Structure 1
Amino acid sequence: MSSGALEAAQAALAAEHAAVYGYGVVGGRIGTARGAEASAAYAAHRARRDALARTVRDLGGEPTAAAAAYTLPFPVAGATSAERLAARLEDRVADVYSDLVRAAEGPLRQQAADALREAAVRAARWRGTGVAFPGLAERS
């Protein structure tokens, strides 16, 4: 596997760490109507994070550690802003998984494509609309 795959896997791992943190914020502010959805997304990102840590080790790297805290892109005061944050987290995850799809081969590429699809679906649910090419939005 190329060093590009390792770098892309590390970037995906870092994004998953941030998503896990972000969903902690989302879960605290989302309210009961979408609480189960936030909990499911949190669990999915934790599972992906743990799998990516193993993948990075398998590729010969030392997994990127989570930060103690992450800066949120905007204040999250209630359910509406929590939904926007969840969509933003999923967009970020889709972006890095698109890089991993390009860099990886075989089963890792399939896993990255699956993760990209799952993130795009969650983003569309949170936002209420999807994008034409998830993971490639606003890229040059």
Structure 2
Amino acid sequence: MSALDATQAALAAEHAAVYGYGVVGGRIGTERRAEATAAYEAHRARRDALRRTVKDLGGAPVAAEAAYELPFRVEDPAGAVRLAALLEDRVAGVYSDLVRATEGRARGEAAAALREAAVRAVRWRGSDVTFPGLAERV
């Protein structure tokens, strides 16, 4: 996978995460609302940075979809927490690919994004995964 393709995939994943956190924010309990807001803002910032990176690599940034199909109905705070953990797992997987496809500073940034997603997933889930970003590939 080329650096541009991996960056586009990461951008698409961030678009989906931003959308998903909109749903999480609408269903999350008040005790975790600040955490959901911080994650939403982090994904927006990563999305915006990836748009610039795609342009720097000579590509046209992939656009966000109008809506995304959720993996399950989110009807309550528990569902919102499950969705948030899943979003972070998915983003971590894409950043894992980006780490492999890049080098230098770009690889460091991708590794940092992978680490941040893995930490957020642990916080949401309450447990860790041995190899963040690879769990969904098994």
Distance 1:7 1:18 in 2: 17
Taking structure 2 as the reference length, the TM-score comes to 0.98
Distance 2:25 2:84 in 1: 10
After TM superposition, give the deviation of residue 58 of structure 1 in Å. Answer: 0.4
Query: Of residues 33, 36, 40 in structure 1, which corresponds to 2:34?
Result: 36
Q: What is the SS of the residue equivalent to 2:26?
A: helix
1:1-140 equivalences under 5 Å are: 4-139=2-137
How many residue pairs get aligned? The number is 138
Q: CA RMSD in A?
A: 0.9
After TM superposition, give the deviation of residue 139 of structure 1 in Å. Answer: 2.2
Distance 1:132 1:31 in 2: 28
Q: Deviations over 1:49-102 (max 9, x none)?
A: 000000000011000000000000000001000000000000000000000000
Unaligned runs of 5+ in 2: none
After TM superposition, give the deviation of residue 34 of structure 1 in Å. Answer: 0.1
Q: Does the C-alpha gap of structure 1 residues 48 and 128 become closer, same or farther in structure 2, counting only changes over 3 Å?
A: same
Moved over 2 A (4+): none
Q: What is the SS of the residue equivalent to 1:49?
A: helix
Distance 2:24 2:136 in 1: 24
Query: Do the aligned partners of 2:89 and 2:136 also contact (CA within 8 Å) in 1?
Result: no
Taking structure 1 as the reference length, the TM-score comes to 0.97
Instruction: Name the % identity.
Output: 75
Distance 1:118 1:75 in 2: 26
